[in-house]
């Protein structure tokens, strides 16, 4: 499902104006992006939690050359669904 389909589904279920719903969905996504850029934890009750986890550096190999490469330590975005969302 794409953003356009999500907006249409909300309009269908609520009867609200499509332009207003699109603005609300866009602003919600902008807030999420802003929080991700600031490495903030986001908890949406009955949906799940987005958080960042530190991943240690590790050794890997370039498949073309076989040369060993070091992948640096980084933060990884994790989503943990709520118990209600799990099927």
User: What pTM was estimated for this model as a whole?
Assistant: 0.77
Q: Using the 8-state DSSP alphabet, how is residue 36 labeled?
A: H
Q: Name the E strands within 4-83.
A: 42-44, 48-55, 58-61, 68-71, 74-81
Instruction: Give residue-wise pLDDT tens across range 17-76.
Output: 999 999 999 999 999 999 999 999 999 999 999 999 999 999 999 999 989 999 999 999
Q: Is the pLDDT of residue 87 over 80?
A: no
Contact indicator for 46, 84 with CB cutoff of 8 Å:
yes
Instruction: Judge whether residue 86 has pLDDT over 80.
Output: no
d(CA 87, CA 81) in angstroms, rounded, equals 10
């Amino acid at each position: 499902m794409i953003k356009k389909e999500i907006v249409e589904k909300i309009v269908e279920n609520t009867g609200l104006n499509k332009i207003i719903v699109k603005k609300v969905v866009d602003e919600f996504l902008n807030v999420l992006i802003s929080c991700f850029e600031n490495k903030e934890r986001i908890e949406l009750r009955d949906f799940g939690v987005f958080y960042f986890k530190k991943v240690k550096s590790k050794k890997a190999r370039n498949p073309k050359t076989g040369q060993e490469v070091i992948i640096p330590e980084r933060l990884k975005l994790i989503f943990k669904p709520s118990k209600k969302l799990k099927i």
